[in-house]
Amino acid sequence: MVEWKEHKMWHSSLLSPISDSRNPKFPSGFTLLELTVVLFLMALVLGLSPFFLAKTLSSTRLATSGRDLSATIRQARSLAQFSGTTQSVLLNLDTNRYGIEGRGIRNIPLDIRVRVIDPFFGEVQGGTYRMLFDPAGGVQAAAIDLSNNKRVIRIITDPIVGTVTLRQ
């Protein structure tokens, strides 16, 4: 019994004076100053986070638009091969819309600029650009640049092999 009592005393002595609520000399809890400092730091972090997230959001939209457009071009090539008919991707440079002809239309965010470089006609400034895909898997050569204020993503189609490459 004596050993238990000594052990109990030894164990209670390990408790810090701050967490010991029976000691009136060291009350438990936080002071008003500590709470104010913590709330101020939390408000500062939450207030500045939208500025940091706004920069990454623009880059994320650009990357997503590039992946979606290149996936649509690959899908049109696959449809042409499987169906045995010529397919075309329409890219409206004025309204930032694109899609496979006769299928759904998708939007490119308005803060992303689209530029098409055709090997025969040069840079296409406006209007609707048509990319043709034949049943043998061939694709019309073109380079599509998607850009925002900081980055440029280029989608390149290879007319010989028929591949679509996305370069960031």
pLDDT digits (tens, 9 = 90+) for 48-106: 888 777 777 778 889 999 999 999 999 999 999 999 999 999 999 999 999 999 888 99
pLDDT at 9 over 90: no
Structure tokens at 126: 């406006």
pLDDT at 10: 47
**How many helices, marked H, and strands, marked E, lie in the chain?**
2, 9
pLDDT at 146 over 60: yes
Helix (H, G, I), strand (E, B) or coil at 34: helix
Which residue ranges form the domains of the chain, and what is each CATH number? Answer: 40-167 (3.55.40.10)
Q: How far apart are CA 90 and CA 142, in angstroms?
A: 13
Pairing type for strands 113-118 and 164-167 reads unpaired
Going 64 to 70 to 74 to 77, the CA torsion angle's sign is positive
Report pTM: 0.68
The chain-wide mean pLDDT, for the chain, equals: 83
Average pLDDT over residues 148-157: 90
pLDDT at 165: 87
Q: How far apart are CA 133 and CA 148, in angstroms?
A: 28
